[in-house]
Structure 1
Amino acid sequence: MASSRRNDADGLLLERHGLDRRDFIRVCTMAAVAVGLPASVGVKWAEAAAKGLKPSVIWLHFQECTGCTESLLRTSHPALAQLILDLVSLDYCETLFAAAGYQAEDALKSAMAANAGKYICVVEGAIPTKDNGIYCKIGGKTAIDMLNEVANKAGAIIAIGSCASFGGIPAADPNPTGATGAPMILAGKTVVTIPGCPANPYNFLGTALQFVTFGTLPALDEKGRPRFAYGRVIHEDCPRRPHFDAGRFVQQFGDEGHRNGWCLYKMGCKGPVTHANCSLQPFCEVPGAWPIGIGHPCVGCTEQATAFRIPMHTTVEIEHVTPPDGYPPIKAPQGAVSAVAAGLAGLVGGALVGGGWVAAKKADGGGEKAGTKPDKGA
């Protein structure tokens, strides 16, 4: 009976979003597969959501353009933009809040108190540290103080976007506000970083739902990034990789190679050093919706040592050289011998011939003086 009532309640919830139970499970499964997790995980997500086990999310905004939030809102699986609000309980988000001022502050305090030790703290944007952090204040509190307060009671901390992960654009030289990332402020705490400019929303969704379903975080690399999304460089899975292996490179924007979709490495593509899944998980589920897909080199936005530091069209070294990387280009440059080089070669050749002839004459003369001339009767 209780199960029947629960199923009816779940059915009403799904009906509100134009989905039946089968569609709901399908969407959860698609979300799991999209971030490289088994389809069975999607079923468990659906079951957890049906039981009301939605992670409380407190979303903080600091120095940023709100692009990561906008990216999250533009997921386009069937009604997923609305469904996310039922899979994840977004209890505080300045961008999406109808409340403001004291109402917003009360909502933040209430969410922290009700879900202490269990909520997910999401950080979007860099944190300024210069002059005691006065360059970013919300409700009279600096970003540093607000982040420390919320993160101290969180069950999990996620830095979404390059700005929150390592400082991003605000931290680019000359970095006038002393901007830095959440992991640097929260040293000693585990901070999951999901860099990108903007970050892919499914990388965040997969991390958040794994935490609420299993109580664990995904395997992370040394920079705190989920390995399922950042375990390989873009170069390894780039759709233009066959052109790289064959030596077909764009030489300038608009040339024949550019029009034919050739490799953008010589135009400054940072794919060989950029760990991300952009080529496998495009934005808004639109094939080709990422820089290389629209004909522009990757700018390396997920890498602290590359993004907003190396000039956009400067070529980088290949991080993991594989055998095809050593193949000659389709049109190998042809060398030419200059007139000076030809003249020098002629002089050297003439000297060698002349020296040989003189040596031969001396050898013949020396034989006669030694009395080795052949006998007449011989």
Structure 2
Amino acid sequence: MATGMTLGGFLRSQGVTRRAFLKFCSTLASTMAIPTGMVSVMAETLEQASRPSAIWLSFQECTGCTESLLRSHAPSIESLMFDFISLDYHHTLQAASGAAAERAREEAMHAHAGNYLVLVDGSIPRVKGYSTIAGISNLDMLRETAAGAAAILAVGTCSAYGGLPKAAPNPTQALSVAEVIDDRPIVNIPGCPPIPLAITGVIAYYLTMGALPPLDPLGRPLAFFGENIHDRCYRRPFYDRGLFAETFDDEGARKGWCLYKLGCKAPLTYNACAHVKWNQGVSFPIQSGHGCIGCSEPNFWDKGGIYESVPMGQFGYGPSITLAAGLGVAVGAGAALLARSKKHKTEARLHGDDPDALKR
């Protein structure tokens, strides 16, 4: 991509049609709770966006979050890497290694100081010697790289909360990103691993809005973590009727009854699994016959056994708060888009640029 080229200019050069571009914007609007009437404004705003640099840091992790990202379908990993962001550093995906890899990270930090995104998967060990990259401790590398970042995305439960490495007895004294960095905006995208669309959706929202999406009290994007799985689960009617599977192979299980008695943590787990699903929308754990283990919640490894039921009763924030959160997302997104659209139009008139694009 040429220096200074906008996303719209790049997509035109790659033969992307107006229809395909608007389809992507419609998908993004639906996913992020943006009013459908704002799609055209979103298209105009996103078209003017410049491709940001992204640095991906992998610490105490299992590579599951990267595997999840590779299976994203809206947008795909190819478009994410080459159309939407410049993924300048990623241990697993980059071709460079050794000193050349570290130079790529340093060059991206200097060239895009104050404007690049940092994505982190894995917890950060506080005990020296547990995990180093190029002789640099994870703690030092995070602090160094985050210093010039515009924002940080903590991808996966390990980086968002500490995850499995932080579980008792926590021999590495593992930390979450937010426990190390307190002077940069942070979005937590938990899950073990997180839903791919939650990762790419936040990045696409950032490109569109020039800001991070509305977050819940735990720093998670409301569009994906605003409701608990229990409220969106297709087995919920069986719960309300008191119909539960007692074992994984009894008649209730075969009829698709609620898995609450088998330890399902969906009532206390906030995530988009039940409606976004996995593997390009094919299924999710409960649909496959296993209860939710609560992997997008803090300290889920230390909250009892996987097959122990949570207390019964009223779960979650309740519908009124969920509705208010959704309205807040929509209103905030609409206001941001209109403001950015007016700004772009003004700048286009001042510079004599053509405001119409991607019309082929």
Partners of 1:72 and 1:7 lie apart in 2 by 24
Partners of 1:319 and 1:164 lie apart in 2 by 31
Q: Secondary structure at the match of 1:284?
A: coil
Instruction: Sort the Cα spacing of 1:226 and 1:9 in 2 relative to 1 into closer, same or farther, 3 A.
Output: closer
TM-score by length of 2: 0.80
* Structure showing greater relative contact order (alpha-carbon pairs closer than 8 Å, 6 or more residues apart): 2
- State the one-letter code of the partner of 2:196: P
- State the one-letter code of the partner of 1:258: A
Instruction: Sort the Cα spacing of 1:180 and 1:7 in 2 relative to 1 into closer, same or farther, 3 A.
Output: closer
Q: Cα RMSD (Å) of the superposition?
A: 2.3
- What is residue 297 of structure 2 aligned with on the other side? 303
Alignment of 1:208-357 (within 5 A): 208-288=203-283, 290-318=284-312, 320-321=314-315
| Cα distance, 1:41 vs structure 2 | 6.0
Q: Does the alignment pair 1:102 with 2:105?
A: no
- 1:207 corresponds to which of 167, 188, 202: 202
TM-score by length of 1: 0.76
What whole-Å deviation, never above 9, does each CA across 1:241-300 have from its counterpart, x for those lacking one? 001011110000111111111100000000111111111111232232x21110100000
Q: Secondary structure at the match of 1:156?
A: strand
- What is residue 329 of structure 1 aligned with on the other side? none
- 2:161 corresponds to which of 162, 166, 188: 166
The answer as to whether partners of 2:243 and 2:258 remain within 8 angstroms in 1 is yes
- What is residue 12 of structure 1 aligned with on the other side? 13
- State the one-letter code of the partner of 1:320: Q
| Cα distance, 1:40 vs structure 2 | 5.7
Partners of 2:8 and 2:101 lie apart in 1 by 34
| Cα distance, 1:59 vs structure 2 | 0.6
- 2:52 corresponds to which of 50, 55, 79: 55
What whole-Å deviation, never above 9, does each CA across 1:222-255 have from its counterpart, x for those lacking one? 2111122112211111111001011110000111
- What is residue 113 of structure 2 aligned with on the other side? 116
- State the one-letter code of the partner of 2:126: T
Instruction: Sort the Cα spacing of 1:94 and 1:319 in 2 relative to 1 into closer, same or farther, 3 A.
Output: farther
| Cα distance, 1:315 vs structure 2 | 0.6
- What is residue 84 of structure 1 aligned with on the other side? 80
Moved more, 276-285 or 255-264: 276-285
Partners of 1:67 and 1:47 lie apart in 2 by 35
- State the one-letter code of the partner of 1:135: Y
Partners of 1:42 and 1:200 lie apart in 2 by 24
Identity %: 40
Partners of 1:171 and 1:71 lie apart in 2 by 21
| Cα distance, 1:169 vs structure 2 | 1.1
Partners of 1:206 and 1:192 lie apart in 2 by 12
- 1:135 corresponds to which of 99, 123, 130: 130
Partners of 2:88 and 2:42 lie apart in 1 by 19
The answer as to whether partners of 1:194 and 1:225 remain within 8 angstroms in 2 is yes
Partners of 1:225 and 1:164 lie apart in 2 by 12
The answer as to whether partners of 1:120 and 1:208 remain within 8 angstroms in 2 is no
Unaligned ranges ≥5, structure 2: 1-6, 317-360
Q: Secondary structure at the match of 2:273?
A: coil
Instruction: Sort the Cα spacing of 1:302 and 1:318 in 2 relative to 1 into closer, same or farther, 3 A.
Output: farther
Q: Does the alignment pair 1:29 with 2:26?
A: yes
- What is residue 75 of structure 1 aligned with on the other side? 72
Partners of 1:283 and 1:7 lie apart in 2 by 30
The answer as to whether partners of 1:45 and 1:209 remain within 8 angstroms in 2 is no
Instruction: Sort the Cα spacing of 1:254 and 1:208 in 2 relative to 1 into closer, same or farther, 3 A.
Output: same
Larger Rg: 1
Partners of 2:193 and 2:32 lie apart in 1 by 16
Unaligned ranges ≥5, structure 1: 1-5, 323-378
- What is residue 172 of structure 2 aligned with on the other side? 177
